[in-house]
């Protein structure tokens, strides 16, 4: 008989409800599908009575931050206004839990801000919702912020929020109980676009790349519009009314890459998303991403990600 894991969710006032649902329901469905009580869960809040989500839903909780139960995993879940709140009671409780127990601590949505503020994430990779990226990097430069949907293999796992929370939950369940169970859960959720942790969050150009220069922002937009039929750096520069050399300097200064390399990475990211999220043939994906042949696509893809497109797809089957 598999031992039951107890997970606690520390709900900070104004927590994001979609992340909450995407965290808890995969555990419920894991029990349903497996026919075993693989997981049980409880909730905590500041006052030990309840917590209100950003959509004004109130959740009754089982205990307060000052009385966190012994558990296998503990996730901090917050949402709006996390930067302006006093998290000292929660961070003190987390430090005690981290020091004195076997509990694995993590964060969902803007909960990464709470952990970073408490010093938990120093020197490690972490994810947070893209809306917080600029301020997070400014406030916590010692944290290796990732623009991915989740980070699972760090000491303190983090997810960027929304449906990325479900991606992390399915990943952790799959690690503990096998990929077949995580796939069965995603089927029950009618969730067929499960992402790997390395997948990028879909965000605005400015938030995603930190772009402030208007020529550079326009150049990236032109690239995104022409992923299936890439054009030369000289053509992009001509469209912008600047020299090719000036375009290369802008990419080097702000993005630490040549226009050609940046363009290729965009096309490869799109290809990976299509491989993971659609049933398109590899030939169609190669063409949709501007590669001249499946063979060329496979070679470039393997160089970038360490696997061929076919191997990438087989990981999902």
Give the C-alpha separation, 154 to 173, whole Å: 16
Mean pLDDT, rounded, of the chain = 90
Output 85 or 205, whichever has higher pLDDT: 85
Closest CA to 21 of 228, 177, 163, 167: 163
| pLDDT > 80? residue 199 | no
Range of lowest pLDDT (16-20, 53-57, 59-63, 188-192): 188-192
Tell me which architecture the domain covering 206-314 has in CATH. Answer: Orthogonal Bundle (1.10)
Output 270 or 105, whichever has higher pLDDT: 105
Strand partners, 265: none
* pLDDT for the residue 211: 62
Question: What's the whole-number mean pLDDT along residues 54-60?
Answer: 95
| pLDDT > 90? residue 317 | no
User: How is the chain split into domains, by residue range?
Assistant: 5-188, 206-314
How many Cβ atoms are within 10 Å of 116's Cβ, its own excluded? 24
The secondary structure of residue 46, as a DSSP letter, is S
pLDDT per position as a tens digit, 224-242: 889 999 999 999 999 999 9
Give the C-alpha separation, 96 to 90, whole Å: 10
Output 298 or 314, whichever has higher pLDDT: 298
* pLDDT for the residue 205: 55
CATH of domain 5-188: 3.40.50.880
Q: What is the share, in percent, of the chain residues with pLDDT greater than 90?
A: 70
Number of C-alpha atoms within 13 angstroms, CB side, residue 227? 18
Output 271 or 131, whichever has higher pLDDT: 271
Tokens read off for 41: 């869960």
Q: Which three-class secondary structure state does DSSP give residue 193? A: coil
Ramachandran category for residue 160: left, alpha or beta (phi over 0 → left; psi -120 to 50 → alpha): alpha
Number of C-alpha atoms within 13 angstroms, CB side, residue 108? 30
| pLDDT > 50? residue 203 | no
Q: Which three-class secondary structure state does DSSP give residue 30? A: helix
């Amino acid at each position: 008989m598999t031992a039951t894991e107890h997970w606690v969710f520390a709900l900070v006032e104004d927590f994001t409800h979609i992340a909450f649902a995407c965290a808890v329901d995969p555990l419920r469905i894991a029990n349903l599908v497996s026919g075993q009580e693989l997981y049980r869960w409880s909730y905590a809040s500041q006052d030990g009575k309840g917590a209100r989500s950003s959509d004004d839903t109130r959740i009754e909780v089982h205990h307060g931050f000052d009385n966190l139960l012994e558990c296998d995993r503990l996730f901090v879940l917050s949402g709006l206004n996390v930067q302006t709140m006093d998290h000292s009671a929660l961070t003190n409780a987390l430090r005690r839990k981290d020091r004195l127990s076997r509990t694995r601590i993590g964060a969902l949505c803007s909960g990464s801000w709470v952990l970073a503020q408490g010093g938990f994430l120093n020197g490690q990779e972490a994810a947070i919702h893209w809306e917080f990226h600029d301020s997070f990097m400014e406030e916590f430069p010692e944290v290796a912020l990732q623009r991915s949907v989740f980070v699972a293999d760090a000491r303190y796992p983090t997810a960027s929020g929304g449906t990325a929370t479900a991606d992390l939950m399915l990943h952790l369940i799959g690690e503990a109980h096998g990929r077949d169970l995580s796939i069965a859960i995603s089927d029950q959720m009618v969730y067929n676009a499960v992402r790997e942790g390395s997948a990028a969050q879909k965000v605005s150009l400015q938030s995603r790349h930190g772009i402030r220069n208007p020529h550079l922002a326009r150049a990236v937009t032109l690239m995104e519009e022409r992923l299936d039929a890439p054009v030369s750096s000289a053509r992009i520069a001509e469209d912008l009314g600047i020299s090719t050399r000036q375009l290369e300097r802008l990419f080097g200064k702000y993005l630490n890459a040549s226009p050609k390399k940046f363009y290729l990475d965009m096309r490869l990211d799109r290809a990976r998303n299509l491989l993971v999220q659609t049933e398109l043939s590899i030939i169609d994906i190669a063409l949709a991403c501007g590669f001249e042949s499946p063979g060329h696509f496979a070679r470039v893809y393997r160089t970038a990600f360490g696997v061929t497109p076919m191997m990438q797809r087989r990981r999902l089957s």
